[in-house]
Amino acid sequence: MARIYIRPTGLVSNPQSVDGEAIRLAGSLAYAHDFALIRAEDGKIVANDRVNAGEMPGALAGLPGALAGEGAAQWANLQKVHPPLHCGERIIRLDQPQVMGILNVTPDSFSDGGKFLDDPQAANEHCAAMLEAGAAIIDIGGESTRPGAAAVWEGDEIKRVIPAIEAAALMGAAISVDTRRPAVMEAALNSGAHIVNDVSALRHDPRSLGLAASAKVPVVLMHAPGDGTDLHADGTYRNVVLDVFDWLAAARDRAIEAGIARELIVLDPGIGFGKSVSDNLALINALPLFHALGQPLLLGASRKRFIGALSNEAASHQRLGGSLTVAVKGMDAGVQLLRVHDVAETVQARNVWRSLRDAALTDFSDLPAA
């Protein structure tokens, strides 16, 4: 089967630097001038042409058959401006990177297992601190999805997340629930959550798609190769970037067919889930490509194992530098949502990054002569 992909390769901080020959990626503050127009057949790349923004419409029109239509759709998606996410009274704009703070109420999370489950006051204080530091969304989860983690009964998961969600709701937070079980989703939404963040992309339980559709709330669909209890299983790829792209396209289409409005779907490439260090690095470098799917993107790489592997096996709490590096890489790529443990530091990095982007947009002609 023949497929087409448009991968932005020449990113610039402003369109003036290339005489306006750039597109704005997904309504973000990232701009692209050059692109790789990739054709693949049965998973094998057969053509990889360099095309600039001005040349792209002609290059797409010259593609054979249905590839021209798919290419045109991807080209439009790359330039699509996404509406904000509505989370109760909170509106999350997607024209700049937004920070999602992680609150794990589990006994075995790889980063802070047990710290907030055993001490509700500490959990509430941490939630409040993340909001004060600038988190746009609080992501609350009651099941560890690290490799080898034990499965959790949904009743226990509900008992873990609901008190934290109720407390966060009283603080006026926009809340996502990190779960793959429909009973937990329903209980969480009834208790004040606004977003469903499912690491199984609503595949774990056949009831999840219908529940999410009827709830009419934003959903995050994450790539994971495993389709059973072990989401990390079966992590083999012909080309990890193109395989994950195709998988997310199918997950998007499945959700739309189930009745979930397209503007409510966020996609996540699933960094660290069934992927090697080289797989993770390839996906992070290719993040701009995923805007061609036409949905907002979430990047969750904070403190992940690959950062430790690249840092002399640094422990999870010693991976701030690497986590910030990946977060900034995501900002450069136009990613809209950054799911992180270290909110204050990431917000500071985002604010400086945003200021640099705003300054870069100053018209060159307005700058004083040397």
Residue numbers annotated as active site: 304, 339
Across-strand partners of 100? Answer: 137, 339
Cα angle: 137, vertex 141, 143; to 5 degrees: 160
353 SS3 class: helix
Q: Do 221 and 197 form a contact (C-beta atoms < 8 A)?
A: no
* 54: Cβ contacts below 8 Å, ≥ 6 apart: 21
Neighbour tally for 221: CB within 10 Å: 28
* 102: Cβ contacts below 8 Å, ≥ 6 apart: 111, 139, 141, 302, 339, 340, 341
Residue 81: HSE in the Cβ half-sphere, 13 Å Cα cutoff: 6
* 325: Cβ contacts below 8 Å, ≥ 6 apart: none
Take residue 287 and report the two structure tokens written for it.
Answer: 């993040």
Amino acid of residue 342: D
Q: Phi and psi (nearest 5°) for 196?
A: -105, 120
